[in-house]
Amino acid sequence: KAPRGDLAAGRQEPLAERRLLDVRLGELPTWLATRDFSPRGLLGGVQKAWNGYCNKYINVRKGGAAGVSMLLAGYCILSYGWSYQHI
């Protein structure tokens, strides 16, 4: 399987700028060492993931019920876990 994006053209970008899906298994510990695990860095990662989710499923021109239903299903599973602590 060919690597994604510009990597397929033979250009290697720095390891710190690659996405997780573009990192090979042997490079994973080095890639993780370049990540920012401070509270500010973790908050930035959560915000980036939320914005990506919203842009992919919520803020679309021809939206469907998929994004909202996934959010509601996640809430139902989370509240079920809160109610039944033995699980």
- What pLDDT is stored for residue 40 in this prediction? 94
Give me the tens of pLDDT residue by residue for the chain, a chain 87 residues long. 555 555 455 567 888 888 888 889 999 999 889 888 999 999 998 999 999 988 888 777 776 777 788 889 999 999 988 888 776
- What pLDDT is stored for residue 8 in this prediction? 53
- Pair 2, 8: CB distance under 8 Å: yes
Q: What is the pTM of this model?
A: 0.53
Tell me how far apart the 2 most distant CA atoms of the chain are, in Å: 52
